Amino acid sequence: MTPGLKKGLSEPRVLLIAYYFPPSGLVGTVRIAKFAKYLKRLGWGTRVISVFTKYYQTTNPDSIMDVAGIPVSRTKRVPQLIRLVNEEGLYWLPHLTARLVSVLRHWRPHIVLFTGGPFAHWLLTPFIRRLYGIPYILDFRDPWRLDPYRRDKGMFSYLYRLMASVIEPIAIDNASYIVNVTEQATEMFKKKYPRFRQKFLTLHNGFDPEDLGGERPSVSFSRCDIAYVGAFGEFRNPEPFFLAFRKLILEKALKPDEIHFVWVGKHEDGPLETISRLGIRDYCALVGYKPYLEALSYIRGSKACLLVSGNHPYEPTTKVFDYIALDKWIIALLGSDGFLSSLLDKYESVIKVLNPDPEKAYGALKAFFEMSHRGEKQATEPNIKQEFNRQIITSMLSQVLEKAIDEFK
């Protein structure tokens, strides 16, 4: 029995509600998969409700290993009826409702954890608490109503925001606790919902040491690879880096076997056009999307890793934890002084630039390149690796679940 639970519970049971779950290849899947993996090891009876894998655009078969032995009940979802409304939770809601009622009646979990996005199916949360007498916790991988990067316009966007403004406060009102991935996000929610300040807490993303140990492959394209893993999207601007990269190549007359930018992620038109326009294609390895464990091999093979952030302090990009765990130099071009900036202040092997322009980015890139040629490398503080170890983070979640159950009785 997990410490802290009532003596009458021989095995505490937690039900996870997650639209994206292995083998989904979405980066957000990793968080809930690691929670499930380590909750099971901590003695929790763990079950999951998710959708059939045919609804995932990308899959990562390797991720199944993390959740082996955990029962997953998969459902259909209705077709996307409104082309401009991409909130999957809305289309999942009818089938999820039927399956959830069945699981609550027959398995009777002690607590339910919802992770999102998507979010619209959180409309079900008060019924879990009020009709079935079961507490629940909300896990915001990203904000919903408070998403600072949402730029949609028009009637459907208005209706989407209206839906969020109705469902989110109801879900928060009835929740035992609400989990965010950065302190900045937690403070953002506390400011929006001051009545529920005591409910909000932070459990960071991180890395799983079991993904990093043993003999793992590495992939490199030059003597000095600079790797970037993931998407840039609309709110991360890589152009200052690309301009700086071209300037370094020209000023030092570098050949492709001397330096490479390695992009591991789904190709995006904007960055591809910039690379072509600047004439640096021969110095770039555009490897496309790779499953998580394979993506790590490109980080291992690099001399440094690139981090480009948007302009909001809450931004929780998960790639930084893999960079740190693998002891890589980090060239960080940050649009705001927030979570990432504070995190990197604890890390030794970083060159950090706030509000970067091409000249600032060039200064950072040149400094790294020269240090790399001198063979400089600083040791990682062990404490930062402990702080972002997913096994330890899940132990903290376990304590939150236990507290919620005890308080609800």
Q: What is d(CA 214, CA 393) in angstroms, rounded to the nearest whole number?
A: 22
Asked if 90 and 61 count as a contact pair (C-beta separation under 8 A), the reply is no
Asked if 53 and 59 count as a contact pair (C-beta separation under 8 A), the reply is yes
Q: What is d(CA 324, CA 340) in angstroms, rounded to the nearest whole number?
A: 12
Report pLDDT for 86: 80
**Considering only CA atoms, which of 145, 128, 150 is closest in space to residue 137?**
128
**Considering only CA atoms, which of 394, 406, 404 is closest in space to residue 137?**
404
**Considering only CA atoms, which of 144, 221, 123, 138 is closest in space to residue 175?**
138
What is the DSSP pairing of strand 200-202 with strand 225-229?
unpaired
Q: Is 7 contained in some domain?
A: no
Same domain, 56 and 149: yes
Report pLDDT for 152: 62
- The count of residues in the chain is 409
CA–CA distances in Å: residue 341 to residues 235, 327, 371:
17, 17, 22
CATH of the domain at 270: 3.40.50.2000
Would you give the DSSP letter of residue 239?
Answer: H
Number of domains forming the structure of the chain: 2
Same domain, 200 and 232: no
Report pLDDT for 375: 67
Q: Is 279 contained in some domain?
A: yes
**Considering only CA atoms, which of 126, 225, 246 is closest in space to residue 174?**
126
Report pLDDT for 377: 61
**Which residues share a beta bridge with 226?**
261, 304
Low-confidence ranges of the chain (pLDDT < 50): 1-8
- The pTM of this model reads 0.91
Q: Is 92 contained in some domain?
A: yes
Report pLDDT for 384: 78
Report pLDDT for 315: 81
Report pLDDT for 6: 45
Q: What is d(CA 9, CA 164) in angstroms, rounded to the nearest whole number?
A: 36
Count of CB atoms situated within 10 Å of the CB of 197: 12
Question: What pLDDT, in 10s, does the model give residues 128-187?
Answer: 999 999 999 999 999 999 987 666 666 777 788 889 999 999 999 999 999 999 999 999
Domain that holds residue 249: 211-387
Q: Which residue has the tokens 């790294």?
A: 368
